[in-house]
């Protein structure tokens, strides 16, 4: 089913009864066609934080928590964000005999939509820690050439040919929702082992997404694939911490090697 048929960008009433059929899956395969031979785009996770998570306990009293969802990158489908927001709102007046029953229900519904195992962790509403970005910031670099759209030819190696292992980050990632055109903002992390990239060119490449239309997960996979194919590192991780929209933030991560997969998502002040 095409995303144009989803609820994204349309006026919608908020459900007050449990409505699992409102979830709208989007097939991952079409956006991966150009990168289907890059194994890393299938390796990793999409972490979501759900800030509008509320339900009723067995006595009918409202409960709240922050939800952390984990979707595997190899799932055939991602879940469109507005439908996910409406799904969680449909739980607001639903009684669950225990927190475990809530988690069981949500995991079942989302796993059915994604056609893969989705996990939900409940976090106390006051206990989601904020951390600082780790690594070398790219944001003070001055690129020689800029592009208005993603351009992998911007990516170059540093002239000295040094082999390095480090993590870079930039707060300048911006792209657009492919349906509504609304901007998506994020901090991107690139952990890299191999011949040192030219940092000016790496920032120029990140900036080139500013007018690009793509879902969060698709942008991260394209960035991963372009760096992997053009700079040919030995190991690579690309992770984006997107800012919150509609009570949700999305944090896709793709890795070339399983041992570079973070144990859990970071949480930044911007989110």
Instruction: Mark whether 184 is an active-site residue.
Output: yes
Measured between alpha carbons, how far is residue 93 from residues 18, 19, 53, 96 in Å? 8, 11, 11, 10
254 contacts 40 by C-beta, under 8 angstroms: yes
Give the pair of three-digit tokens for residue 68. Answer: 């952390």
Catalytic residue among 46, 109, 184, 249: 184
Catalytic residue among 177, 198, 219, 253: 177
Hey, which residues does 67 pair with through a beta bridge?
A: 50, 122
d(CA 93, CA 85) in angstroms, rounded, equals 15
Q: Are strands 183-195 and 136-137 parallel, antiparallel or unpaired?
A: unpaired
Give the pair of three-digit tokens for residue 265. Answer: 């998502």
Instruction: Mark whether 124 is an active-site residue.
Output: no
- Cβ atoms within 10 Å, residue 210: 17
User: Dihedrals φ, ψ of 14, to 5°?
Assistant: -85, 125
**C-alpha distance across the termini of the chain, in Å:** 30
Which residues are identified as catalytic? 177, 184
């Amino acid at each position: 089913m095409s995303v144009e048929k989803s609820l994204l960008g349309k006026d919608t009433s908020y459900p007050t009864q449990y409505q699992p059929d409102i979830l709208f899956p989007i097939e991952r395969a079409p956006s991966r066609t150009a990168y289907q031979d890059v194994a890393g785009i299938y390796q990793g996770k999409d972490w979501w934080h759900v800030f509008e998570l509320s339900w009723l306990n067995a006595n009918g009293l409202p409960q709240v928590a922050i939800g952390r969802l984990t979707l595997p990158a190899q799932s055939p489908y991602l879940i469109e964000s507005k439908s996910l927001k409406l799904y969680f709102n449909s739980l607001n007046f639903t009684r669950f005999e225990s927190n475990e029953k809530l988690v069981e229900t949500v995991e079942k519904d989302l796993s059915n939509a994604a056609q893969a195992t989705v996990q939900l962790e409940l976090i106390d509403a006051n206990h989601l820690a904020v951390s600082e970005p780790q690594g070398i910031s790219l944001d003070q670099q001055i690129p020689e050439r800029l592009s208005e759209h993603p351009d992998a030819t911007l990516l170059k190696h540093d002239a000295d040919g040094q082999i390095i292992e480090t993590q870079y980050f930039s707060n300048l990632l911006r792209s657009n929702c492919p349906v509504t055109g609304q901007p998506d903002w994020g901090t991107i992390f690139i952990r890299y082992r191999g011949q040192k990239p030219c940092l000016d060119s790496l920032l120029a490449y990140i900036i080139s997404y500013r007018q690009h239309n793509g879902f969060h997960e698709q942008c991260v996979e394209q960035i991963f694939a372009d760096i992997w194919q053009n700079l040919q590192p030995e190991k690579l991780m690309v992770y984006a911490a997107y800012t919150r929209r509609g009570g949700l933030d999305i944090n896709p991560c793709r890795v070339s090697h399983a041992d570079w997969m973070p144990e859990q998502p970071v949480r930044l002040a911007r989110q």
